[in-house]
Structure 1
Amino acid sequence: MSTTDRPGLDQRRLQRRTRLLEVGVDLLGAAGGPAVSVRAACRAAGVTERYFYESFDDRDAYIRAVYAEVGERARAALVSAVAGAETPTEIAELAVRAFVALVLDHPEAGRVLLLAPLREPALGGRGLELAPSFVVLVQDQLNDVADPDERALRALGLVGALTSLFIGYLDGTVTVPRETLIRHCLGLLDRASRP
């Protein structure tokens, strides 16, 4: 193989990996629970198992990669949503709306992020690994709370409460309209940010 063929090969490999991650979100975030197997992923992505194994060591590595991808999307969506916002109120509303859009408009991604760590053994404690980055994002908005320990506790509690709300929405136990959910989340943020 010549060196000029390498970029095309690398591009195709990246495209196959990206496609496998995309279908992984649908499989891991299936409404009835995770339905992930190497065969199902390959069938959905339209690739052979050979191409699966060029990107992932095994099923568990694949599931962890799908989860990491969705976690990064969520973090990036929140950071992007609040870029340019100036007031804490504006930041909170934009962040809540971005997360609601991620979870409600793409329920498969929401289920990957919030339910898969509870249902999929391959993820073990992965949900706990992502939580600190979301806690820091919330903590940064609680500027009116002077005591750093209190700010950290409130941020952690708030992330836990919001996570439970969104899990309830995804599993059907919370059935309020979208705007009601947003207003409730904003109310929680507002109360947590008071000195």
Structure 2
Amino acid sequence: MATETGAERTWGGTTLSDRRAARREKLMTAGLDLLGSERPSAVAVRAVCRHAHLTERYFYESFADRDALVVAVFERVAAEAKERLQEATRAFEPGEPQARAAVESTVGLMLDDPRKGRVLLLAPLTERVLASRGLELARMLALMIREQLSDEVSDQDRELIAVGLLGALTSLFSAYLQGALTAGREEFVAHCVRLLLTVDRLHE
């Protein structure tokens, strides 16, 4: 039954804005499922709508095209990764507790929900529209790593170490997500922590 609530019409107790937001969320979930699947399906408008059980009319209510959805999914996961990493490490000074907090936060995001890991690490390699955003995320993460390194070395050394360390961690996480590593979760975490803690030796 339709009623009027202020300036916005309601139907069945929900407003038009609420229903649009709910439909958009279904499309975002469908996009994450498809883009982050173990065997990625084509993230086409029809496939997304079929997965979300919505018509194309509702897709274009929220997104201009499939690329807009792909970007929105990636940016949401990237923002979550950044927020979780900052929150996990905020209370610690550089050292073992901070390194473990950073690794466990990233593992929690990428491995507990492998869809998100694949969106962050693998989708930028296959989705042209994400190429530049993948590079932006990498630069941001490298900067976060660089800020935790000793300031007793030159800025150039810190930059080189941060970029190299990020490359190593990215390769490790990508291989783990694809099942190419046999290490258990705790062994994987411990290895990444050791990598973070031994990085300062690179400039001795």
Deviation at 1:139, TM superposition (A): 1.4
Q: Which amino acid aligns with 1:90?
A: P
Task: Give the alignment's TM-score, normalised by structure 1.
Answer: 0.90
User: Which residue of 85, 97, 100 maps to 1:93?
Assistant: 100
1:4-32 deviation per Cα after TM superposition (whole angstroms, max 9, x unaligned): 33992223222222221122111001101
Structure 2 vs 1, CA of residues 34 and 142 (structure 1 numbering), >3 Å: closer, same or farther? farther
Of structures 1 and 2, the larger Rg is shown by: 2
Paired residues of 2:35 and 2:119 also in contact (CA < 8 A): yes
**Contact persistence 2:142–2:166 (CA under 8 A):** yes
User: Aligned residue for 1:66?
Assistant: 73
Higher mean alpha-carbon deviation, 106-115 vs 79-88, is at 79-88
Q: Which amino acid aligns with 2:133?
A: R
Structure 1 CA distance for aligned equivalents of residues 88 and 193 of structure 2? 15
Q: Give the conservation status (yes or no) of the 8 Å contact 1:33–1:119.
A: no
Shift of residue 177 of structure 1?
Answer: 0.7
CA–CA separation in structure 1 for the residues paired with 2:136 and 2:93: 29
Choose 11-20 or 153-162, whichever is displaced more.
11-20
Higher relative contact order (CA 8 A, sep 6+): 1
CA RMSD of aligned residues (A): 2.0
Q: Distance in 1 between matches of 2:134 and 2:54?
A: 29
Q: CA deviation at 1:62?
A: 1.1
- Pick aligned residue for 1:4 from 8, 22, 35: 8
SS in 1 for 2:39: coil
- Higher mean C-alpha displacement, 176-185 vs 7-16: 7-16
Which residue does the alignment assign to 1:126? 133
How has the CA–CA distance of structure 1 residues 26 and 160 changed in structure 2, closer, same or farther, with 3 Å as cutoff?
same
Give distance in 2, aligned partners of 1:85 and 1:43.
Answer: 45
For structure 1, the residue ranges without an aligned partner over 5 or more in a row are: none
Report the residue type matching 1:4 in the other structure. Answer: E
Correspondent of 1:160 among 167, 172, 175: 167
- List gaps (5 residues or longer) in structure 2: none
% of aligned pairs identical?
46
SS across alignment from 1:23: helix
The structural deviation recorded for 1:160 is 0.8
The alignment status of 1:113 with 2:120, answered yes or no, reads yes
The count of corresponding residues between Structure 1 and Structure 2 is 195
8 A contact 2:45–2:59 mirrored in 1: yes
- Structure holding more strand per residue: 2
Counterpart for residue 196 of structure 2: 189
Secondary structure at 1:172 match in 2: coil
Between the aligned partners of 1:131 and 1:150, the Cα distance in structure 2 is: 18
- Residues 116-146 of structure 1: CA distance to partner in whole angstroms, max 9, x if unpaired? 1112233233311211111122112113543
TM-score (normalizing by structure 2): 0.87
